[in-house]
Amino acid sequence: MPATVVVGSQWGDEGKGRLVDMLAADSDMVVRYQGGNNAGHTVWIGEEKFAVHLIPIGILRGKLSLLGAGMVIDLDVLLQEEEELSSRGIEVRGNIRISENAHLILPYHKLIEEQEEKRRGKRAIGTTLRGIGPAYEDKVARRGLRVGDLRDRETLTDRLHDAVDYKNLLLKKIYNARGVDPDRTYHDLVTLHDHFADAVCDTSLLVREALDSGQRVLFEGAHGTLLDIDWGTYPYVTSSNPLSGEVTAGAGIPPKLIDRIIGAAKAYTSRVGAGPFPTAVDEATAEQMREPGGEFGSTTGRARGIGWFDAMVVRKSVRLNGIEELGITHLDVLDQFDQIPVCVGYTCDGKEVPSFPNQVTELDRCEPVYETLPGWKSDTSQAKSFSDLPENARRYVDRIGELAGAPVTYVLVGREREQSIIR
């Protein structure tokens, strides 16, 4: 299976990092195709925690790691990430390639986002404040700057000054905020570009060459399907398409080259930021799960909202992404419960809902319908194979796979690499 995609099937934070890290061991190349440093993919190696936000997590396995065209890149953050990983013995320089077509996140994007979130008040999206939305806005408005634009200094000076003038006007006149210094921005950008210049290229060529020569390429999705700009709980979504379909545009390969699509799903549900969350549990139960699940945002540190497994959500993701197998993560967090509710459907205004609604106003009126499964009340964290799991845990896993519409082929039972079951 040369081209494999791992996508998030909930609201992000499903444990894609752990799954990608595991699959990267048998891959030649790992590619991010969308999003930016709003993502946070974490792996524990023994007692050491590694979290990456921009660089594909395959870097930890020494694999060629590509930042694709569909991404938005803050070069400053990339530099920090490189320095941090290098200082811990991870080879970065020789192993990363950056798409010249990827758009840049610039200082004014972050300032504008901060102001815009403030302006929204109680309708704030609860973004990560990394400048993601404003950078994608500029991309579709065709006024963005791309990594490749940093090569031509003459046109860069012009374009950057023009962009800064416009953004400063917005910041000062509309938001009554401070603007950015164009000369300093220019200087920082070209310094950063010169640092990374060797790694900047047309990454789509590398992906295609790898696939044509039979190498195994892993596409590392970021965020989750329910945060997709088109198919998520709009407007409480991110500004890119985390869906598997975006691999084609974001990495630059045709759809027919994708062989395998794996959906990552938590054994329950979590969500950060604002927006509807039908299966949210009460705060006391959330507290019980937060600590063992490490449910604090790896990008922002925010405590995540927690809910029961929602088959309506994952079923929608299975359909939209073409997920043929699921990797269930965080199963061990459920070890503590006598009984575990699983959402099997919704009713809205007393009527059964056929599929996860696209409109948040409709979703707000939905009531989850639960089926309660017996818990297993024992430690799953040491299980090495599916048959090591208690019978009720096996039943739980199979039932959520059945409800979601895809078999479960991976089960993760802890934060460490060894705590992974391949079925």
Which of 2, 12, 15, 307: binder of ligand IMP (CB under 6 A)? 12
Q: Does 266 bind ligand IMP (CB under 6 A)?
A: no
Which of 37, 65, 204, 238: binder of ligand IMP (CB under 6 A)? 238
Which one is catalytic: 13, 21, 138, 228? 13
Which of 2, 56, 107, 133: binder of ligand IMP (CB under 6 A)? 133
The Cα 164–Cα 186 span in angstroms is 10
CB of 399 to ligand IMP, least distance (A): 25
CB of 214 to ligand IMP, least distance (A): 32
Residue ranges of alpha helices (H) inside 131-213 are 132-140, 153-169, 182-196, 203-212
User: Nearest-CA neighbor of 66 among 263, 248, 219?
Assistant: 219
Q: Does 15 bind ligand IMP (CB under 6 A)?
A: no
Tokens of 5: 């995609």
Q: Which is nearer to ligand IMP, 232 or 401 (CB)?
A: 232
Q: Does 130 bind ligand IMP (CB under 6 A)?
A: yes
Which of 2, 5, 13, 253: binder of ligand IMP (CB under 6 A)? 13
CA contacts within 13 A on the Cβ side of 291: 5
Query: Which letter does DSSP use for residue 302 in this model?
Result: P
CB of 388 to ligand IMP, least distance (A): 30
71-82 core/surface letters (b: 16 or more CB in 10 A; e: else): bbbbbbbbeebb
Identify whether 41 is a catalytic site residue.
yes
Q: Does 292 bind ligand IMP (CB under 6 A)?
A: no
Q: Does 125 bind ligand IMP (CB under 6 A)?
A: yes
Q: Does 204 bind ligand IMP (CB under 6 A)?
A: no
CB of 11 to ligand IMP, least distance (A): 6
Pairing of β 325-329 and β 305-307: unpaired
Q: Does 38 bind ligand IMP (CB under 6 A)?
A: yes
Q: Does 70 bind ligand IMP (CB under 6 A)?
A: no
The Cα 323–Cα 330 span in angstroms is 19
Identify whether 165 is a catalytic site residue.
no
Which one is catalytic: 26, 28, 41, 187? 41
**Furthest-apart CA pair in the chain: how many Å?**
67
Q: Does 9 bind ligand IMP (CB under 6 A)?
A: no
CB of 130 to ligand IMP, least distance (A): 5
CB of 10 to ligand IMP, least distance (A): 9
Q: Does 223 bind ligand IMP (CB under 6 A)?
A: yes
The Cα 324–Cα 48 span in angstroms is 33
- Compute the chain's Rg from CA coordinates: 21
The Cα 76–Cα 193 span in angstroms is 10
The Cα 223–Cα 237 span in angstroms is 10
Residue nearest ligand IMP, CB atom distance: 273
Give me the torsion for CA of 408, 391, 382, 222, rounded to 10°.
20
Q: Does 132 bind ligand IMP (CB under 6 A)?
A: yes
The Cα 229–Cα 205 span in angstroms is 27
User: Nearest-CA neighbor of 9 among 221, 218, 219?
Assistant: 221
Q: Does 52 bind ligand IMP (CB under 6 A)?
A: no
The Cα 20–Cα 24 span in angstroms is 6
Active site residues: 13, 41
Residues lying near ligand IMP in the complex (CB under 6 A) are found at 11-13, 38-40, 125-128, 130, 132-133, 222-223, 227, 236, 238-239, 272-273
